[in-house]
Amino acid sequence: MNRGRNLIIGQSGGPTAAINSSLAGVIEGALASDKIDTVYGMINGVNGLFERNVINLTEIFKNKAYELNRLMLTPAMYLGSCRHKISDDEFEKIIDTLKSYDVGYFIYIGGNDSMDTVNRLSQYTAEKHIDINIVGVPKTVDNDLMGIDHSPGFGSAAKYIATAVREVAYDTSIYAIKSVHIIEAMGRNAGWLTAASVLARDGVSNAPHLVYLPEVPFSVDNFVRDVKEKLKTLNSVIVVVSEGLKDEEGNYISAGENSCDKFGHVMLSGVGAYLKSVVEKQIGCKVRALEPSVLQRSAGHTASLTDIEEAFNLGLVAASAAINGQSGVFSTLKRISDAPYSVAYSTENVSVVANAEKKVPLEWINEQGNDVTNEMISYLKPLINGVPQVPYRNGLPDYIDVSHLDRRNQSYSEDSEEF
């Protein structure tokens, strides 16, 4: 039997509801190719590679269509993650390890940091004439990647936020009392997820009534004025704010480290909790702050089918690119049209996405800095479409078993700034 070479895949950075769909796409593409012998997965990204913490994905998924479908619909990362930024002097060790597994194809799913790894590793293999193709697959809930119309993972998080805003609007519609709800969306530097909350508007409810993106300096005075103005005609005002709002001087809007509890513990709190206290003090009506936090990035039960399918296709495209000799590229998509919605898949040089950040264009934010334009809505609208058939068992989403992560993670603990 004429054996091909092996393909290895890893995941890195923060979780989304669609990364495993990209993994499923890579696996399906690799299993279908006669150039690939075995598909390996590294556990916890390149950290797993260093420790030879590698699993055989061919064994797990070959001829297992149902399991591959479950993988597509399981949030977070089947292979685990890491935040490790590879230094140049680690390249040799990585290549040696890859060679020991007879790897000819290395695929990495991640955000702009991970694409930097792909970029530098592919430059190294090119310079050294090492016959391993290095290809990236993009992902992030923040939608801040360059070189792609929108990031896989974003559509599902956008759908979560819009659904939450709509349901809060229904929740609060029942009372004839003046109230304010402040919902804090993820996206420290880019306001895409905050903007996506406006999809909750449907001609029936106009919630959210105010949205504040981090691209525009935030003024507490203007916020109070805006909310008071809305309260003139509405009983219930729903506001969505980015977790990363900053004032004119570039300081984050939050209670800061000076807040304390009754035992003197420092109480850090975010912009939502802070603005809640502002409304209590300066307006005096009922107010709630809601912070969906990680629930918005891992909500597989309400994923966007469009997002899941696109993430899968980007995995397929990356596997095919690597197998057909490309290296130093990432799989991407361009939008052909909004309505009917259509995209075209391709690959591009990974240097365009590495370390760069795509913010919301200022012309898609209104003049008052408290809403977005129709161009933004046209851009966002197709991304949340479609309801995936998530499998259920005993009333809950029946995601794929990831207990291999528990077992392996218990053996060591990585130090990380973010989690």
Phi, psi of 179 (to 5 degrees): -150, 160
Largest CA distance in the chain: 77
Rule CB under 8 A: which of 310-369 touch a second copy? none
Choose the catalytic residue: 37, 89, 142, 261: 142
Q: Which stretch binds a second copy (CB under 8 A): 101-109, 237-245, 274-282, 326-334?
A: 274-282
Which residue in the block uniquely carries the two structure tokens 């603990």?
413
Answer left, alpha or beta for residue 356, where phi above 0 means left and psi between -120 and 50 means alpha.
beta
Q: Whole-number minimum distance, CB 222 to a second copy, in Å?
A: 17
Cβ closest to a second copy, residue 136 vs residue 155: 155
What the block records as the tokens of 146 is 């360059």
User: Do residues 213 and 241 make contact, with C-beta atoms less than 8 angstroms apart?
Assistant: no
Q: Binding to a second copy (CB under 8 A): which residues in 167-186? A: 167-168, 170-179
Q: How far is the CB of 364 from a second copy (least distance, A)?
A: 19
**Shortest reach from residue 23's CB to a second copy, in Å:** 12
256 binds a second copy (CB under 8 A): yes
Among 26, 57, 95, 164, indicate the residue that binds a second copy (CB under 8 A).
Answer: 164
How many whole angstroms separate alpha carbon 18 and alpha carbon 312? 8
Q: Contacting a second copy (CB under 8 A), which of 85, 128, 293, 342? A: 293
The alpha helices in 153-289, defined as continuous H runs, are 154-173, 192-196, 220-233, 271-282
Site for a second copy in 130-159 (CB under 8 A): 159
Using CB under 8 A, which of 261, 284, 339, 340 touches a second copy?
261
Binding test (CB under 8 A) with a second copy, winner from 55, 130, 224, 273: 273
* Nearest distance from C-beta of residue 76 to a second copy, angstroms: 4
Give the binding range for a second copy (CB under 8 A) out of 238-246, 278-286, 319-327, 343-351.
278-286
Site for a second copy in 35-54 (CB under 8 A): 44, 47
From the list 130, 294, 352, 356, which residue makes contact with a second copy (rule: CB under 8 A)?
294
C-alpha 187/C-alpha 109 separation (Å) is 19
CB 282 within 8 A of CB 254: no
Among 258, 284, 337, 374, binds a second copy (CB under 8 A): 258
Residue with smaller CB distance to a second copy, 329 or 390: 390
Site for a second copy in 75-114 (CB under 8 A): 75-77, 80-82
Q: What are phi and psi of 252, to 5 degrees?
A: -60, 140
Q: Among residues 240, 225, 242, 234, which one has the least CA distance to residue 168?
A: 240
Q: How far apart are CA 315 and CA 310, in angstroms?
A: 9
Cα gap 346→332, rounded to integer Å:
5
Count of residues that interact with a second copy, criterion CB under 8 A = 98
Nearer to a second copy, 199 or 213 (CB): 199
- Count Cβ neighbours within 10 Å for each residue of 85-117 and write b for 16 or more, e otherwise: ebeeebbeebbebbeebebbbbbbbbbbbbbbb
Going by C-alpha positions, the residue among 70, 41, 44 that lies closest to residue 58 is 41
Residue 123 C-beta-side C-alpha neighbours within 13 Å:
10
Nearer Cβ to a second copy, position 36 or 383? 383
7, 9, 15, 333: which one binds a second copy (CB under 8 A): 15
Burial 49-64 (b: 16+ CB within 10 A, else e): bbeebbbebbebbeee
- In the window 187-226, what residues touch a second copy (CB under 8 A)? 199-200, 202, 204-205
371 is catalytic: no
Output the smallest distance, CB 80 to a second copy, in A: 5
* Region of 284 on the Ramachandran plot (φ > 0 left; ψ -120 to 50 alpha; else beta): left
**Choices 27-35, 135-143, 316-324, 393-401 (CB under 8 A): range interacting with a second copy:** 393-401
Give the shortest CB-346-to-a second copy separation in angstroms. 25
Residue closer to a second copy (CB basis): 324 or 378: 378
Q: State the minimum distance, in angstroms, from the CB of residue 212 to a second copy.
A: 19
Let me know: does 193 contact 329? Beta carbons within 8 Å: no
CB of 224: closest distance to a second copy in angstroms? 13
Supply the residues annotated as catalytic.
Answer: 142
